[in-house]
Amino acid sequence: MSDKFKELEVKLSKYKWYLKEAKQLELSIRYPYQLADGNVGGGKSSGGDNDKLLSTLIKIDENEVLNKYVKIGQAIERTFAELPEHLQEAMMEFYINRKGHYRGHPKRCAAKLNVDVSTLYRWRTEIVTEFDRQLQKDEKNKEES
């Protein structure tokens, strides 16, 4: 297996992690922890940004880590949508639904899918190839804009 194949498989298997981290980053930008400004009089504080929603949206849009996680998650979702049903099932079993200490174990997944381990490997190769194609599409779109 090549290093790129392994790297792409790691990204695929971290799908739920990317979703969770992206949500946490977005929430931390939308609702940052703020110290009290000392305004105890009940009136408006003086100065400051009057358009907090716009500045929050700009911060979300410009956060590179958040954008990276969202793009990887979207590429994984597009990959799933493009695959035939048997590959979708293999993708869910091998990469997405990773529970227990046998998670991502080729022999266990192959048995659960009722296929040979070599067949599962071919399917994994097809899934990773499609995922790479989706990521390349993102890069191409990024360069064009």
pLDDT, tens digit (0-9, with 9 covering 90-100), for 6-23: 999 999 999 999 999 999
19/104 Cα distance (integer angstroms): 19
Confidence of residue 79 (pLDDT cuts 50, 70, 90): very high
Is a pLDDT exceeding 60 seen at residue 121? yes
pLDDT, residue 44, reads 60
- 110/123 Cα distance (integer angstroms): 10
Separation of alpha carbons 81 and 97, rounded Å = 16
pTM of the prediction?
0.80
| Residue 102's pLDDT band (cuts 50, 70, 90) | low
pLDDT-based confidence at residue 34 (cuts at 50, 70, 90):
low
- The full set of domain ranges for the chain reads 3-20+56-144
| More confident of the two residues 83 and 47 | 83
